[in-house]
Structure 1
Amino acid sequence: MIISFDLDGTLVDYSYADSVWCEGVPKIYAGEKKIGFDEAKKYVMNEYMKVGERKIEWYNINYWFNYFGLKTDWKFLLKKYENRINVYPEVKNVLLELSKKHRLIISSNAASEFVDVMVKKIGNYFEYTFSSTSDFRLVKKTPEFYLKLLEQLKIGKDEIIHVGDHYEFDYLVPKRIGIKSFYVDRNNTRKGRDVLRDLNGLIDKL
């Protein structure tokens, strides 16, 4: 069995991504344009929103550095904030246990540049990593994403389980097309047999 994991909100919290986009990029913009951080952040955040998360550019850090005319290498920024990658406490033990019996992969909405950095912090548990935005040019994990995943892995719907923290795109969408899925609800807002408070509960479900 292949177990597919979402990344942000499932294996790591959102600190790293938020730090890069909401602190790192504005700081660089402020420094290069010689303006205050608050002014830079307001401008940068407004420009993000003009594009919006339904467009592929939203997820592309190289696009934004070019858009803002920044000379700093964006790879420096991703490395600078590596210490903000917070892996949830139970994750490594659960992955170690699951990897003894199952093949593990990452199926994330984040761009591959972010995925690669975060996966290094988690550890060498994953056979493959897939980014909906970088690998398939899809802004969300739609049915098309999961079908492409099956095609890439050369497996059927009954040979994979997906686990993630977005109720629609990690749970309902794969479930609707026949893929077993579990919803990670760390904020304890939902109940059900497919709802996990954290990943410890996953081992008992398999």
Structure 2
Amino acid sequence: MIDWSCIDTVLLDMDGTLLDLHYDNAFWFEHLPRTWGERRGLGLHEARSVIHGQAESRRGTLDFYCMAYWSELLELDVAALNTELAHLIGLRPQVPEFLEWLGAAGKRRVLVTNSHRSGLDFKLARTGLATWLDEIICAHDLALPKEAPDFWPRLQAQQGFDPARTLLVDDNAHVLRAARDYGIGHLLAIAQPDSRAEPQFLPDLPMLESFRQLLPQT
């Protein structure tokens, strides 16, 4: 699937790629709207519809991912609420094995996430992901989300990777296409970001069903 002799740097998304997206979906589609709705006398469906409309208006911006933005908008401590489903945070299968193998193979492992810093730090503490990474990049520190075309030259200038010898693994089609347009030479899209949801199909992108596919066969 990948000719590793052509890869020096591996850029890895977090939510839906290294971590199961079930946690985020449960939080944003169930827990947050239910809690917010209960405080305003709204049912889950109505509260979810309101929050979804607000989210769609900010899609493709850092606000979409920013807990401070949502806390102010909803008048709710979203970061604190975020910790209440901590038991659902989990690594996707074979993630530790894959990251350990990359390190042993001399590949640079860089986490690149749109996650807000508070959520990022919380998930790193829960999972120990930092153990297997060489660098952790939060898109908020570069002032652009990964979907933005200008994000990629900013990241490349900071990290100094060769785009042609770089692999990006992500679950977001818009991110992958923006990276492809910039010149990232190798792309893989996660087929099933949420272990309890249906797989996605992206006909213009190579799909990865399991990290086991990237590990050497023994």
Change (3 A) 1:38 1:91: same
Give structure 2 stretches of 5+ with no counterpart.
1-7, 192-198
Aligned with residue 63 of structure 2, among 52, 57, 64? 57
Change (3 A) 1:143 1:42: closer
Aligned with residue 15 of structure 1, among 14, 17, 22? 22
Matched residue, 2:4: none
Matched residue, 2:143: 137
Matched residue, 1:4: 11
Give structure 1 stretches of 5+ with no counterpart.
none
Which deviates more, 56-65 or 28-37?
A: 28-37
Q: Shift of the alpha carbon at 1:66?
A: 1.3
Matched residue, 1:200: 212
User: What is the Cα-based RMSD across aligned positions, in Å?
Assistant: 2.9
Amino acid in structure 2 at the alignment position of 1:173: A
Whole-Å separation in 2 of the counterparts to 1:174 and 1:18: 24
Q: Shift of the alpha carbon at 1:104?
A: 1.0
Change (3 A) 1:87 1:68: same
Identity of aligned residues (%): 20
Matches within 5 A, 1:150-189: 150-158=156-164, 160-170=166-176, 172-186=177-191, 187=199, 189=201
TM-score w.r.t. structure 2 length? 0.75
Matched, 1:93 2:92: no
Q: Shift of the alpha carbon at 1:5?
A: 0.5
Q: Shift of the alpha carbon at 1:201?
A: 2.5
Q: Shift of the alpha carbon at 1:20?
A: 2.2
Whole-Å separation in 2 of the counterparts to 1:193 and 1:59: 24
Whole-Å separation in 1 of the counterparts to 2:169 and 2:42: 43
**SS in structure 2 opposite 1:81?**
helix
Q: Shift of the alpha carbon at 1:95?
A: 1.1
Change (3 A) 1:98 1:39: same
Preserved contact between residue 167 and residue 183 of structure 1 (Cα < 8 Å): no
Deviation readout 1:7-50 (Å, 9 max, x if unpaired): 2222123212222222232233234335544443343333333x
**SS in structure 2 opposite 1:33?**
coil
Which is bigger in relative contact order (C-alpha 8 A, separation at least 6)? 2
